[in-house]
A and B are shown apart, each in its own frame.
Chain A
Amino acid sequence: MTNTEAKLRKPRQRLDPSDEVLIGRLAEGDQSAFNEIFDRYHRQIYNFIAKQVNDRESCEDLTQEVFMRVYKSASNFDTSKKFTSWLYKIALNEVKRHWKRTGARQTYSLNTPLSNEAGEAERADFIEDAREVPEDSTESELFSRNLRQLIDQLPDKQRTVVLLKVYQELTFEEIAEICECPLSTVLSRMRYAVDKLRRWLGVEDGQAEYGL
């Protein structure tokens, strides 16, 4: 593993028993299997949801709902699939249902151009926004806050790929399974998303104007 790879993803540990064995046990009524699954994944799922839903109470409710669904649907799990793909698919659907219910998610137009005045205006807004933070914010808090906003502004499908890849450290194959699309589509979404973030952050030819 290269240094960069090490910064981007932690090495995966082989879990024993495997997730698939645990979900099989849960389907047979073994409550302790649920506890083990919950221990393994509740932090990741909470964080996956928290990067998409802003209020804490909803994050908690949605994460709880994901695990309740796991509990109730264990017997429906397709053992030919990977458990994590199934789990994240449930989480993704819960978030989508939440947006539908609350109307909270403001979708960003897939057609929003980045190379014209509109794109420049967004970047200007971003930089302007960065100036309107409490005086006691540190530089890293400021960067974090604005980066979250930028990621939030990505089109849904691109944002999902970035969240699953960068923060959840899933493989592109797993993400393709979760998003139910070809691997090439996942890679294209990743490319578009990173190109947008790069532009918004002002990174060109190795030079960063802001924060990098």
Chain B
Amino acid sequence: MDCKKIQKQIFRFIYGESDEYELRAIKAHLEICNACEAEQKIIEEILVQIKSGVPDDPVPDGFKERVLSQVQALAEQDS
């Protein structure tokens, strides 16, 4: 694989979704290409920062009960 192909597949590689052939080819390329290896590390760092930078929003209190009561009402309506 050349650099262009590697860059197309790099996200699948980072997330562990490459198939066996891609995985071997990408690993072999990264061992000999400093530019692609550096790029991979930058992308990984950005992805980690994006993920950890925006925490999950807590689900409001009582939300589950509200939805389940709506569904219950719907079920009674249907029967």
Please report A residues at the B interface, Cβ cutoff 8 Å: 1-2, 4-5, 7-9, 31, 34-35, 38-39, 42-43, 46-47, 50-51, 56, 59-60, 63-64, 67-68, 71-72, 140, 143-144, 147-148, 151, 162, 165-167, 171-173, 184, 187, 190-191, 194, 197-198, 201, 203, 205-206, 211-212
Query: Residue A42 contacts which of B12, B51, B59, B70 (CB distance < 8 angstroms)?
Result: B59
Query: Residue A5 contacts which of B16, B57, B74 (CB distance < 8 angstroms)?
Result: B16
How many chain B residues touch the partner (CB < 8 A)? 39
Q: Check A64–B67 contact: CB distance below 8 A.
A: yes
A-B contact pairs, 8 of them (CB 8 A): A7-B48, A8-B44, A31-B71, A68-B74, A143-B53, A194-B11, A198-B42, A206-B42
SS of B interface (majority) = helix
CB distance from A62 to the nearest CB of B (A): 12
Write the chain A residue with the least CB distance to B52. Answer: A7
B63 within 8 A of A: yes
CA distance A125 to B11 in the complex (A): 29
Q: Check A5–B59 contact: CB distance below 8 A.
A: no
Please report B residues at the A interface, Cβ cutoff 8 Å: 7-9, 11-12, 14-17, 38, 41-57, 59-60, 63-64, 66-68, 70-72, 74-75
What's the A-B contact tally at a CB cutoff of 8 Å? 125
Name the 8 nearest CB pairs between A and B, nearest first: A50-B57, A147-B53, A4-B44, A7-B48, A46-B59, A47-B56, A5-B16, A64-B67
Contacts of A144 in B (CB 8 A): 53-55
CB distance from A7 to the nearest CB of B (A): 5
Q: Check A167–B67 contact: CB distance below 8 A.
A: no
Contacts of A9 in B (CB 8 A): 15-16
Q: Check A191–B54 contact: CB distance below 8 A.
A: no
Q: Check A64–B46 contact: CB distance below 8 A.
A: no
Q: Check B46–A68 contact: CB distance below 8 A.
A: no
